[in-house]
Amino acid sequence: MKPANPQAAAVPDPPGADRWAQIGRRIGIGLFWFMAVYVIVASTSSVVAELFDFPSAAPDAAQAPRCAAAIQSLQHSLLEHTGAELKLPPDQARLRRWLTDWDKEFAETREPCGSLKSTRRVLLTLRERLEAMLQTYAREALPLREQIERTLETYTPRSS
């Protein structure tokens, strides 16, 4: 079988070309494996840090009291507002506006309060459960409360 281009077959490779090609392939393979190992190690360390709740940075002694006060204020606000919502007629729009504002204040504690990450997580769980409680109350317990109030109205004198 004859080559398609007879002149191409006549041009010899420069001396050492196979050696340089082999070195280039080895460098390329080495770089590939280095990057693959780097990506695997970086992603694994990130996942492990999140799973086992390793602090991302050393706690700042000056920030800790401010963060604790901010988280305590958020908790107090959450409990106070939840108690007030039980006494008011249900209004999903009002509740949603307030929770949105609360969520914004909570988000502001993310960066400076990294040392209190687990406490923030517990506070967020409390917020979610209180919201679910208010929804359950409006759906199930409020009609019972209203029924009691209607029944008792017939027996209590009205003040004029």
Determine the Cα–Cα distance for residues 87 and 85; give it in Å rounded to an integer.
Answer: 5
**Per-domain residue ranges of the chain:** 63-150
pLDDT at residue 62 greater than cutoff 80: no
Tokens of 133: 């409680």
Reply yes or no on whether the pLDDT at 7 is more than 70: no
- Please state, in angstroms and rounded to a whole number, the distance separating the CA atoms of residues 119 and 71: 8
**Is 156 in a helix, a strand, or coil?**
coil
**Quick one: pLDDT band at residue 49, thresholds 50, 70, 90?**
confident
Per-residue pLDDT of 105-114, as tens digits, reads: 999 888 778 7
Contact indicator for 70, 109 with CB cutoff of 8 Å: yes
CA 8 and chain centroid, separation:
62
Is residue 50 over pLDDT 90? no
Which residue carries 């409990």 as its tokens? 79
Q: What angle do CA 140, 144, 147 make, to 5 degrees?
A: 145
